Structure 1
């Protein structure tokens, strides 16, 4: 019989890429969602006040869209935040409502 040859697996291009830290848009989106949920507001209500579609706001919250500074200002304003406050919250690590925090000793 023949020899068994182990084939090296090639990475699946459709597989998610593992990152050690989140992207800025993911941190900002998480902060926006956390703030909205803290206030007990619906996506459609915040989107209407911000002048964006609920679908777009949902994608921003999930970190799928990279909004312009004007869009961030509109959404942050609809949540009674300034862009500076939103950026500060995101820069602290994005540990808002719904985020997991793991500590190692």
Structure 2
């Protein structure tokens, strides 16, 4: 980890080299190909997609601010901020029931 590591816009922790994942704010399947993207921790990115459908992301959660305000993601972000920047879950995440 260096001082020049990018910062995850969701959790605010540095993203170590190779630990980032590009998130399309509007999903590619919903017209976001070539649209705005943000670099997130892989664990943060997985949680976004485990929590929200592509339609929900396109319709209501297409900004970092909206993602941060989602109740479940808000709880996850409070938890993950206490973890080291390179933290990865050992247990594979799964989609939550809707």
* TM-score bracket for the superposition, by shorter chain length: 0.3 to 0.5
Identify, as 1 or 2, the structure richer in strand.
2
Q: Which has the higher helix share?
A: 1
What is the TM-score normalised by the length of structure 2? 0.34
TM-score normalised by L of structure 1: 0.32
Structure possessing the higher relative contact order (Cα contacts under 8 Å, 6 or more residues apart)? 1
